[in-house]
Amino acid sequence: MIWLDFSMFLVLLGLFLYVFSSSSVTVLHRIYLLLHVVFMLWPLFQFASQTTAFVPYRLFYLSASYIVLSLLGIGWFSFILFLTGHYYVIRKSRLFLLSIPAFISITVVLWNPQGMFLSVNPMLEPLKQLQHGPLYWVMIIQLIMYISVSLIILLYKMKRRDDSIRHRKMVRTALNGVFVLTFFAVSDFFVNVIYIEHFTRYIPLVSIGMTVTAAYIVHAISRNKVFDIIQIVQRDVMNTMSMGIIVMDENDMIIEVNKVIKPIIRLRIGDFFKPEALASQFKKDTADQLRMFFEAQRVRPMERQEIELTINLAQSMHIIVQSAPIMNQKRRIVGRVLTFQDVTELRMLVEETNTQNELLHERNRELLIMQDELSQANKKLEHMAITDGLTGCFNRRYMMQQLESEVVTSLRQGVPFSIFIFDLDYFKTINDRYGHLIGDEVLCSTVEAVRSALRLTDVLARFGGEEFTVYLPQTNRDQADIIAELVKSTVEKNRVPTGNGDCTVAVTISMGVVSIERHDSTDLEDPKSFLRELIAQADAALYEAKYNGRNQIVNRKLA
């Protein structure tokens, strides 16, 4: 059995290299790959501990393997948080607090006072030489805690019906992985710890469980591409552009390169962009120009830089290089985009004859049109990122971002505001009876009806399925009640044609309303938590309205 641990390590290493080489390295991939490293190190150190009879070395390798095992719980828990959309929890301060049980376990392994965690007695039979003390349960308990919480989160997400099919596949993959890993871990505990004297040799069940779990997850990644859909869309859009594009994050790590640039410059996704390494690929004059260009970029990072280069490859090429910062809403640089535009043909026409100035101007106009099309495409992408594709109203992500800033401003200035959450009553019945196309028409028509009853300053967003949210700035409870009644009655009067003669569909809505007229100064200490509480209260009011018979409004005035 000594070589089985090493075989599991080789299998896990192969899976690691396969995922790293065949997939776009997203944040979720990075978290999983770190977890995969934990999977790899456990069988490696277990194998190393069985290759030596020298007690200090063996104890060292075993302690290292248990340190790795102590990190398994927090690694898996972090992976589950990001996979299920609870990534807001993964921040430095919170992650440190969540990691405390793992740190305690690691401390116990390293300290190992008087062998109370682990000891090796060479005087006993080989299978009984490894002795686990009472502190061994510290590691077991923290692993049970992390796995239990992860399991609860996954089961909760599986019960929700408003998630997409792709997201449910991701959750189901992780849930199956938890069950497989837990089964092998429990089996290993009983076989190799509790009832070890009933077996003739050590069986590395944890190593096998980690390998089976990793193989299953890698298979799901390869088969379903559950992690890659956004990257595939982005890559397809970028590869249709005629200019070469390099996208970097704030740490100058390359996160995307389109196919146009690959014949010109040798770069790979995941490498750190090094201006000196790029400049060294060209001749002296071109290299000096590039160095000056990147120096200007370093000195004035907020400005757009541009330079034209002559590159002698198989033939002489004229390339326009542009560097532009990528900034977030707070005007902070979160990355940088380098574009390489091949203008060789344009320059050759200029050099060939001055009589072709008219053609040159036409080319310039085409270039401007391309830039305008790119700008329009960016605007469309920005619009698509914040709106719901079916109804045309804002999506949940945009609404939450707006509320985070609007709520803080309203609380600081003491301005009242209200929030509606409503959904369509018996919408599933409409889908079942008339089909999903009519259901979509009902959703769109209801959105238009609601818009007609709202003010220009009110913000309507689709939270998912048939559930919508409305933010009403500078609106007290009395005003919110009037608007809510108007919205409800407008929807109730709305009729949607079914395409079957004069037959129409009418729907009603149930609504939960939360109004804030006064606030506590402590609300500003954690506005995101306060916002989540507001949404939860409005959601509870909505369910109360549905429970009381639907087509109702339930208002909760929190302050």
User: pTM for the whole thing?
Assistant: 0.40
pLDDT band at 227 (very low <50, low <70, confident <90, very high): low
**Domain for residue 282, yes or no?**
yes
For the stretch 88-91, contacts whose Cβ atoms lie closer than 8 Å and that sit 24 or more positions apart, written own/partner, are 88/528
In a domain, 546, yes or no: yes
Q: Would residue 21 count as lying in a domain?
A: yes
Q: What is the CATH number of the domain that holds 104?
A: 1.20.1070.10
> In the chain, how many domains are there?
3
Q: Is residue 73 helix, strand or coil?
A: helix
Q: Among residues 447, 448, 444, 442, which one has the least CA distance to residue 427?
A: 442
**Main-chain phi, psi angles of 303, to 5 degrees:** -100, 155
Within-domain flag for 183: yes
Residue listed under structure tokens 């018979």 = 549
158 with 74, same domain: the answer is yes
| CATH number assigned to the domain comprising residue 552 | 3.30.70.270
The verdict on residue 368 lying in a domain is no
Determine the average pLDDT of the residues in 434-450: 90
Q: Are residues 107 and 197 located together in one domain of the fold?
A: yes
Non-local CB neighbours of 30 within 8 Å, separated by 6+ positions: none
285 shares a domain with 194: no
Residue 357 within a domain: no
Bridge-based pairing of strands 118-120 and 504-505 is: unpaired
The rounded percent of the chain whose pLDDT value lies above 90 is 11
The pLDDT value given to residue 288: 84
| Shared-domain flag, residues 209 and 291 | no
Are 284 and 410 members of one domain? no
The CA R_g of the chain, rounded to the nearest whole Å, is 30
- C-beta of residue 465 within 8 angstroms of C-beta of residue 442: no
238 and 158 both lie in a single domain: no
Whether 20 shows a pLDDT value over 60: the answer reads no
- Is residue 294 packed enough to be buried (19+ CB in 10 Å), middle (13-18) or exposed (0-12)? buried
E strand or H helix at 341:
strand 333-342
Domain final residue, candidates 208, 227, 246: 227
Count CA within 13 A, CB hemisphere, residue 155. Answer: 8
535, 402 Cβ separation under 8 angstroms: no
Shared-domain flag, residues 333 and 403? no
pLDDT tens sequence across 300-330: 888 888 888 777 766 677 788 888 888 876 7
State the CATH number of the domain containing residue 322.
Answer: 3.30.450.20
Residues 220 and 242 in one domain: no
What tokens does 239 get?
């590869």
For residue 444, what are the domain limits? Answer: 394-557
Joined together, the tokens standing for residue 390 give 């079916």
263 plus 195 within the same structural domain: no
Tokens 């002698």 sit at which residue? 312
Give yes or no: residues 207 and 62 share one domain: yes
Percentage helix, strand, coil for the chain under 3-state DSSP, each rounded to 5 = 60, 15, 25
Mean pLDDT of 478-503: 87
User: Does residue 192 sit in the same domain as residue 55?
Assistant: yes
Percent of the chain with pLDDT over 70: 80
As a whole number, mean pLDDT of residues 440-446 equals 91
d(CA 108, CA 2): 27
Pair (24, 106) in one structural domain: yes
Q: Considering all CA atoms of the chain, what is the largest pairwise distance in Å, rounded to the nearest integer? A: 98
**Most confident listed range (44-53, 206-215, 402-411):** 402-411
Whether 362 is covered by a domain: the verdict is no
Whether 350 is in a domain gets the answer no
